[in-house]
Structures are given as C-alpha cells and as structure tokens.
Structure 1
Amino acid sequence: MTRDYCNIIKKKPGASVPNKKSNHGLQPVDADRGAFRTLVPLITKSEKQKIKKYKLKKRKVTKLKILAKISIIVVAIAAIFSTQSFSQPKLGIEAGLNLSNSSFSPDLRSGSRTGIMIGGFAEFKVSPLFSIKPGLRYIMKGFSVGDGWGNQNTFKLNYIEAPVLLKVNFPVQQVKPYVEAGPTVALRISSTVESIDGDVDASEAFETIDFGLYFGSGLDFRVANNIEMFTGIGYSLGLSNTLSAINGNITGKNNGFKIISGVKFDL
C-alpha cells in the first residue's frame, strides 16, 4: 500500500510532532502519523552522543569506500591504456537538466526535483566504434514528498559525481549518433529539506556515497576542424541505498532523467 513519505530531518531537543489538521479539518490517518514519528526521531542528549560516534565511524568507512572506488577506476583505465592504441583524445564540457526522483522500499509516494548538472570529461577512442569516457560533474538530485498533512517537502541532495562510460560511436560522417553506458560513483556534498518552515539540514538522514549506472544516447556533430558539439538524453539508475540507518528499514535509491548538451575539443 502506498503512503506518503514524511520528513526525514533532525528535530531539535524537546520538539514534538505537530498536531496539524488537514484542509478538510481531519486529522491525518494513523498510518501517516506513525510513519511521521518513525522517520522523524526525537533526538535526546544520549542519542546525540550515539549519533556523533556513528558519524565518525561512517566517515572512516566512507573514506575507505572512496579510496577503493578510485583505485579500481585508476587500475581499469591504466589497464586500458597499456593494452590499447589510442587516437587523439578529446576534452569536453557538458551541462544540462536532471529530473531526479527516488524509489523507496516499502513503497512510498514521491515527486521529482528538477536540478542542474555541469562538468567535464575526457574521451579516449580505442577503436573506430568504441571510446572510454571518464568524467567529473556537479549534479543536483533529490525528491519531494508529502508530510501527511497535505504539505510537500523537497529534499535537495547535491553531489560530485564521477562516471566512467563506454561509448559506442556509429560510423557516420557529419552527424554521428552514439550510445553510452557505465558505472557512476557520487559523493554527497550537501543535503537539505525545503518545507513550509524553511530549509533544514538533513545530513543525518542520508548516506555519503551513491553508486549507480548511467545509460544515454545522443548526437555528435562537427562545427569546426577541431571542435564538436553534442546533445543527448540519459537515465541514471541508483544501485545503493541513500538513506542512513536512522531511517530504520526504509531504503531509497536515486534515479533520474537527464538532458545534456556540450562541446568537445580535439587535442
């Protein structure tokens, strides 16, 4: 049964769950109120100390995860360079829109958040058909949810994301269609929730690392001897749970549609 996903934010000591009424003068259903109390824990002094210890432990684990992921990427790229003969590489910049949402288990209703993405990448051609495309970009993710009283809260999750894509180039002359796919790893740099009471920090509620897969397609077209422009669309599929342990057994994964354009330069 689908139900509203309520605030996942840190409450101040002594704060209580508001006893608001809906627009029709009715109290929210028990299921929604129960979910609200589960997902918005009342933080006591003793719990704060536990959270601090938990955060320190998570930071250590996060650093190890990041180091392991970067090591895998570096080793993979080094292996490719050592076994393939590359043509002239390209450097590019890209920007676009990200229409993000989250999928939850158990099923919870959520809406999308529209954000921007901007970054850079390198493209190494390993054959007439295939290229390796590592990159780094700033991307806005998130979702919106109801609080059980008819109000919408928007969770704003901002990341630095590193995709490593395999690109398939179709051998056409001026306008070249392509498809690409590969893994992504993202480091969360901020997380807030926008509600009727203003923006509130939501760092406690989300994991630091987000793993996913990216699938995209588009068109490359040459505009000068050493310059190409491109436009495309893509979809990101979340693989890891982005919700932290304080949310109990609820899990959420980031997903999103992307519209991207940019320019590439031959080196």
Structure 2
Amino acid sequence: MKKVLLIMFVVGLVGSAQAQFGIRAGFSSSNFSDTNFEPRSGFHAGIYYRFGENFLKVEPGLFFSQKGYTGTDDQGRSIDEQLNYVEIPVLFRMSLIPAVNVFLGPQISFLASRNYQLGDVTSTSLEVLTAYDLSGVAGAQVVLPLNFNVQASYDFGLRSLNYFNTAVKNQVFKVSLGYSF
C-alpha cells in the first residue's frame, strides 16, 4: 500500500501542469565566516524540479558547487582552499509579480573533494572539516522570455565546518542563468 501511495504521489508531481524541470549554472563567490580571508571565485551547476501553484512553488534541486577561500598566511605564502560540494536545496518560491519571485529554503551539502594549496604544498585530505554542511538559501529570480531565468542568491551556513578545529561557516553569493523545460 505504501508503494502505491508513493507512486501516486510521484506521478502527481510529475504530471502537474505547473511542474517544470530545469538546469542552472553560474558564478559563485565564497568565503568562511569570521575570518580575514579573501573570497574565492568558483562556479555552480545543476538541475531543479519546480512544482506548485502560481503564487507559491517548491523547488528541490541537485547541484555541484565550488566553495572555499583565498589569502596569505603569516609568512606571506598564498593559500587557495577549494571545496567541492554536492548540494541539495529545497527552495520555496513566492511570486511577487509574474516575472519576479523571491525564495528561501534549507540546503544540505556533502563534501565531494578538497584541494588545498599553501605555497608549493598541496593537500586533498577531507579530514580537516566536516563531511556535510547545512545552510539556508535566500534570493530573487527574474523570469525571462523563452523559458530562461536569472537569479541571485546567498547561501549562509548554519553549521560549523570545524575547519582545522575552528568554528567557521560557508558563506556564498551566487549569480546564475537557468533554463526551464
């Protein structure tokens, strides 16, 4: 019985007239909270599924995102910390007017890989920080003609990464272009 209900629920979501699949990619600028590091530029890309009524829609997604920071240490050596995550956001979109919506929602991110460069020393060890991150996402989107959209968002960490036993959180500003099928 549970399987039948689950199948009916999934078919209802997929068959909804207001449902849309889409792709999104763009620029990211990330840093750690409470540090004096410089932001690191990166990118993010993935897929989303949007469903709901005209005024309020729900949008789960699956994305790859680069995060981290840059800077220099006390001896003047350059630092470049690139953290690659698989993200699963669940956004709640509220339409202000037909072409503009604002959104807010939770996101869980799983650390996929790490590339730390300090001068000539490189490390890929994942043991210096937690394996997952919890954050909130807030932003706005403009719907463009031909099923395109552009959005800006801010990811604010809710959980300490315990980075080298230091309580820091991810902070990421994103600008992206999307296409809904």
Corresponding residue for 2:145? 222
Corresponding residue for 1:33? none
Separation (CA, whole Å) in 1 of partners of 2:114 and 2:85:
9
Separation (CA, whole Å) in 2 of partners of 1:243 and 1:109:
17
Corresponding residue for 1:151? 77
- Higher CA-based Rg: 1
Aligned Cα root-mean-square deviation (Å): 2.0
Q: Pick from 90, 93, 100 the counterpart of residue 177 of structure 1.
A: 100
Note the 1:8-47 alignment, pairs <5 A. none
Separation (CA, whole Å) in 2 of partners of 1:170 and 1:123:
17
Separation (CA, whole Å) in 2 of partners of 1:217 and 1:234:
7
Corresponding residue for 2:28? 98
Corresponding residue for 1:189? 112
* 2:161 is equivalent to residue 242 of structure 1: yes
Corresponding residue for 2:47? 120
Secondary structure class of the residue paired with 2:100:
strand
Unaligned runs of 5+ in 1: 1-74
Q: Pick from 167, 170, 174 the counterpart of residue 258 of structure 1.
A: 174
Secondary structure class of the residue paired with 1:109:
coil
Q: Amino acid of the residue matched to residue 143 of structure 1?
A: Y
Q: Amino acid of the residue matched to residue 121 of structure 1?
A: Y
Separation (CA, whole Å) in 2 of partners of 1:131 and 1:178:
10
TM-score by length of structure 2 reads 0.87
Deviations 1:108-138 (A, max 9, x none): 321111011000000002x220100000000
Runs of 4+ in 1 over 6 A off after TM superposition: none
Higher helix proportion, which one? Answer: 1
TM-score by length of structure 1 reads 0.60
Secondary structure class of the residue paired with 1:148:
coil
Give the drift of 1:221: 2.1
Separation (CA, whole Å) in 1 of partners of 2:162 and 2:78:
19
Note the 1:41-120 alignment, pairs <5 A. 86-104=16-34, 108-120=35-47
Separation (CA, whole Å) in 2 of partners of 1:198 and 1:231:
39
Give the drift of 1:163: 0.2
For these two proteins, the number of residue pairs brought into alignment is 171
Give the drift of 1:206: 1.0
Unaligned runs of 5+ in 2: 1-5
Q: Pick from 49, 52, 56 the counterpart of residue 130 of structure 1.
A: 56
